[in-house]
Amino acid sequence: MMREILWQRKGRTHLCRIYLLIGTKRKGGMKLEVIYPQEASPTWDVLKLTTTRQCWMGCHFCDFSNFTPMKPAHPIAPSLPIPVAEKALKTLEVKVDLVKVRGGLTFREPFEYFRTLVHRVSQHHSTIQVYSPVELHQWHRMEQRPIRDLLAELRWAGATGIGPGGGESLVQAWRDRLSPNRLSANAWIDIAQLGWDIGLPPTAMVLAGDWLSTDDYREHLSRLADFRWGTIEMKLFRASDAHPELESSHLLKILTLIEMTRSYLGEIPLVISDPRGELSDDAKILMTQAGCDAFYRTVAEVAP
φ/ψ (deg, to 5) at 240? -105, 170
Nearest to 254 by CA among 223, 213, 287, 205: 287
Q: Which helix (H) or strand (E) holds 78?
A: none
Max Cα–Cα distance, the chain, nearest Å: 86
Looking at the chain, which residues constitute the CATH 3.20.20.70 domain(s)?
A: 43-302
Considering only the top CATH level, what class is 43-302? alpha beta
Measured CA to CA, the distance from residue 288 to residue 276 in angstroms comes to 18
Nearest to 236 by CA among 270, 282, 267, 262: 270
Length of the chain in terms of residues written: 304
**Per-residue pLDDT of the chain in tens (304 residues, 90 and over written 9):** 444 545 555 555 555 554 444 444 444 444 555 555 568 899 999 999 999 877 777 776 666 667 777 677 767 777 899 999 999 999 998 999 999 998 878 777 899 999 999 999 999 999 999 999 999 999 999 999 999 999 999 999 999 999 999 898 898 888 888 778 888 999 999 999 999 999 999 999 998 877 778 898 999 999 999 999 999 999 886 555 555 555 556 788 899 999 999 999 999 999 999 877 788 888 898 899 899 999 999 999 998 8
pLDDT value at residue 143? 93
**HSE-CB of 85 using CA atoms within 13 angstroms:** 28
Neighbour count for residue 252 (Cβ, 10 Å): 9
Contacts of 38 (CB under 8 A, 6+ apart): 6, 13, 14, 15, 285
pLDDT value at residue 19? 47
